[in-house]
Structure 1
Amino acid sequence: MRHILIAEDDPHITSFVTRGLRAAGYETTEATDGETALLLARSGAFDLVLLDIGLPRIDGFAVLSHLRGEGVTVPVIVLTARDSVIDTVRGLEGGANDYVTKPFQFAELLARVRLRIGDGEQRTPGAVLSHGDLSVDVRGRRVTVAGEAKDLTSREFALLEVFLQHPDQVLSRDQLIGHVWGYDFDPASNVVDVYVRSLRSKIGADRIETVRGAGYRLL
């Protein structure tokens, strides 16, 4: 199992990213300050580091500088609320492999993680996701049910894509919000229930099961 270090001092973001990565099949370890992140990243135990710039003690730029100066080549994806060109260039020239600006949707982060790790799970651009007689052409953004085309909104499509990536698995509302709407979306919102209801009306009500107290599952 691939092991990812999450170096982030915001517990909300750490929890959101940890849940999503574990649901995607990764092992995770968390560090809440730069000194701990540097110590762990040096160990060689990780396949990738998600590195926040604004860490306490020493910031992410310093962590990255130490790692690359010591010849540590672990892939690093920088997570930061800073979106200026100067910060982006500084991160990439400092040895980061990628750069994701907060707020972000988990689906985007996961795609970048898989790209940098070289994960065999990464979908090719023309991938088709299928489950029974339900099929989604990811690149063409086409959905068919028993051979019949269905017209979905962009959010409905994104929600269905997440379900198809995790068939027969219970996904919590928080996980679905993280994947489709992003971690900054209000977790108290009923947006997931609204979109599940809408999706059921288009692909069949019996295809998505409500698991009381837990979330939803694609059958």
Structure 2
Amino acid sequence: MRLLLVEDSVELADSLLAELGRHGYAVDWLADGRDAAYQGISEPYDLIILDLGLPGRPGLEVLREWRGKGSNTPVLILTARSSWAERIEGLKAGADDYLSKPFHPEELLLRIQALLRRANGLSNQPELVVGGLQLDESEQRVSLNGQQVELTAAEFRLLRYFMLHNGQLLSKSQLSDHLYDGESERDSNVLEVLVNRLRSKFGKAVIETRRGQGYRFVGVR
């Protein structure tokens, strides 16, 4: 899952980039509202974490512009402001959730998980479940019919994206756009290798190949 973090505090941004990276998210970071206004609608993010007090342009102004241009990307506001009036203003502008500073990183991760599942029409349960496959995002653990299966970090990221989009046809370019940040080199051959690794661990039928179109995750039959 690819996220955009818009935060002007270098110290906080560094800690969040490290924490989110440890939990398998690809994250782009911006510190200026003017840059965020453009990039937030020009790149295919799964979720945006937006600070309100930004240089260049205020966060609420940027959010209103995104929504005005038709973006429905989930937005989680980070704010040092504590008044209910300001929180309500953010929700009216189109935010999906907010988190007041200071906050615990685990709460941020749980809110991100909930927003991503909601955006994909899934209930906010402790685990993602498709057939006999269970994926625990908090523990980064995967099991098949109750038996834990060891995955690399890259395999985990791909499987999570597939499970969040169960049954959908996903092109290689779409997968690359959502699994890697803007600075990463993208190689479709790497995706093929990862898909084959998942098939070797969960069965060949778990992921269908549509020649010239991409892949479709169908779960364990």
TM range (shorter): 0.5 to 0.7
Distance change (3 Å), C-alpha of 1:113 and 1:18: same
CA contact (8 A) 2:46 2:73 kept: yes
Detail structure 1 runs of 4+ shifted over 2 Å in the superposition: 119-125
Distance 2:73 2:59 in 1: 15
Tell me the percent identity: 34
Find the aligned partners of 1:44 and 1:73 in 2 and give their Cα distance.
13
8 A Cα contact 2:2 2:27, kept in partner:
yes
Deviations 1:92-124 (A, max 9, x none): 011000000000001000001011111899973
Q: Quick one: distance in 1 between partners of 2:73 and 2:97?
A: 12
SS of 2:15's partner is helix
Flag the structure with more relative contact order, 1 or 2, with Cα contacts below 8 A and sequence separation at least 6.
2
Aligned pair count reads 133
Aligned match of 1:105: 104
Please give the secondary structure, in 2, of the residue aligned with 1:118.
helix
| Distance in 1 of aligned mates of 2:117 and 2:91 | 19
What amino acid does structure 2 have at the position aligned with 1:124?
Q
Unaligned runs of 5+ in 1: 128-161, 169-219
Match of residue 51 from structure 2: 52
- Following TM superposition, by how much is the alpha carbon of 1:16 offset from its aligned partner in structure 2, in angstroms? 1.1
1:21 paired with 2:4, answer no
Q: Is the 8 A contact 2:114 2:124 kept in 1?
A: no
Query: Secondary structure of 1:90's match?
Result: helix
* Partner of residue 35, structure 1: 34
Pairwise CA RMSD = 2.6
**Deviation per residue, 1:65-87 (Å, 9 max, x gap):** 10011111110000010011111
Provide the rounded CA distance (Å) in 2 between the counterparts of 1:166 and 1:72: 30
Relative to 1, partners in 2 of residues 1:35 and 1:118: Cα closer, same or farther, differing over 3 Å? same
CA 1:13–1:122 in 2, change beyond 3 Å: closer, same or farther? farther
Alignment of 1:66-215 (within 5 A): 66-118=65-117, 124-125=125-126, 165=139
Please list every run of 5 or more consecutive structure 2 residues that lacks an aligned counterpart in the other structure. Answer: 128-136, 142-149, 151-221
**Superimposed CA distance per residue, residues 34-73 of structure 1 (whole angstroms, 9 cap, x where no aligned partner):** 0111111011421100000000010100000100111111
The residue aligned with 1:181 is: none
| Distance in structure 2 (CA, Å) of the matches to 1:25 and 1:166 | 8
| Distance (whole Å) between structure 2 residues aligned to residue 45 and residue 166 of structure 1 | 24
Question: Are the counterparts in 2 of residues 4 and 29 from structure 1 also a CA contact under 8 Å?
Answer: yes
CA contact (8 A) 1:33 1:58 kept: yes
Give the secondary-structure state (helix, strand or coil) at the position aligned to 2:4. Answer: strand
Equivalent-residue separation in structure 2 for 1:18 and 1:87 (angstroms): 26
Whole-Å Cα distance in 2 between the matches of residues 123 and 20 of structure 1? 21
Q: Is the 8 A contact 1:114 1:122 kept in 2?
A: no
Greater Rg, structure 1 or structure 2? 1
